[in-house]
């Protein structure tokens, strides 16, 4: 069996994509039996082998791989770094928090983006200051992932920075900030979320409606009723769901779709 695993690991460096993908999937089926050889493969001279090794280790989910993955955060190849960060997020171990916080300032976009997501999976409050800072990243992908991670962690220190992020110039980022404010039940954000209902962009409007339902502040009823008067079926549905949570669906003078 060890020999079969070693053969598959060798195929991770193959020139053809289909061969590499097939080998990675086959390694995944070996599960924990492949963990030790894959840990060794994280130091393989070929970057593709290291990349796939990190991915498989994350999917297998054996915590024995965590020290080796943390060490692999220093890999010089950005594609490998990206997979290592994602694997640590899948494993969700708190020993990875400090290295992932450092990865939030990496020069590679994918590494920063995945670090923010991984910290959201782990939900350790040590990450809050770094994630707040990451909401000022030049990339909206990093800013949005950081905003979402802060909502998952649930620390009230994030509320003011998230409210500020509702003014971000990127719709997706504004939407993720709104979603996290809803998850935090941030009553302080109600006025800003109401303004977002009629702002530009779809993601921010949808998540603002959802967040207002989660917060359940009566001030949102009339704005939600007004925002539901649209041909946008998704916005209608978000408003209906929010009004149900607020206990005022009967205030509607017209029918909203049940889909």
Q: pLDDT for 80-135, tens place per residue?
A: 988 998 899 888 888 889 989 999 998 888 889 889 988 998 999 999 999 999 99
Calpha distance 215→236 (Å, rounded): 18
The predicted pLDDT at position 94 comes to 87
Which of the residue ranges 104-108, 151-155, 158-162, 232-236 would you say has the lowest mean pLDDT? 104-108
Tens digits of residue pLDDT in 157-170: 999 999 999 999 99
pTM, entire model: 0.81
* pLDDT category of residue 250 using cuts at 50, 70 and 90: low
Classify burial at 85, counting beta carbons within 10 Å of its beta carbon; exposed 0-12, middle 13-18, buried 19 or more. buried
The second-level CATH assignment, the architecture, of 1-91 is Alpha Horseshoe (1.25)
Q: How far is CA 41 from the centre of its chain?
A: 27
Percent of the chain with pLDDT over 90: 77
Calpha distance 141→192 (Å, rounded): 22
* Mean per-residue pLDDT over the chain, rounded: 92
- How confident is the model over 64-75, as a mean pLDDT? 89
Enter the tokens of residue 241. 């769901």
Provide the residue ranges of all domains of the chain, joining segments of one domain with +: 1-91
């Amino acid at each position: 069996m060890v020999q079969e695993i070693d053969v598959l690991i060798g195929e991770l460096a193959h020139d053809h994509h289909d061969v590499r993908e097939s080998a990675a999937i086959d390694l995944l089926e070996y599960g924990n039996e492949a963990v030790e050889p894959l840990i060794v493969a994280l130091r393989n001279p070929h970057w593709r082998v290291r990349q796939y090794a990190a991915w498989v280790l994350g999917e297998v989910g054996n915590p024995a791989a965590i020290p080796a993955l943390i060490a692999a955060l220093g890999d010089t190849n950005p594609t490998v770094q990206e997979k290592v960060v994602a694997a640590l997020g899948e494993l969700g171990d708190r020993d990875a928090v400090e290295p992932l916080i450092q990865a939030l300032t990496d020069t590679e976009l994918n590494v920063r983006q995945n670090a923010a997501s991984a910290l959201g999976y782990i939900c350790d409050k040590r990450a809050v200051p770094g994630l707040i800072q990451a909401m000022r990243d030049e990339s909206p992908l990093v800013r949005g992932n950081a905003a979402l991670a802060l909502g998952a962690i649930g620390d009230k220190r994030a509320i003011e920075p998230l409210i500020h992020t509702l003014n971000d110039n990127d719709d997706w980022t504004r939407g993720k900030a709104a979603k996290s404010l809803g998850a935090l039940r941030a009553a302080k954000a109600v006025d800003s979320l109401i303004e977002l209902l009629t702002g530009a962009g779809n993601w921010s409007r949808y998540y603002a409606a959802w967040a207002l339902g989660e917060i359940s502040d009566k001030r949102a009823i009339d704005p939600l009723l007004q925002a539901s008067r649209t041909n946008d079926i998704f916005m209608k549905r978000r408003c209906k769901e929010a009004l149900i949570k607020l206990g005022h669906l009967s205030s509607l003078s017209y029918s909203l779709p049940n889909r």
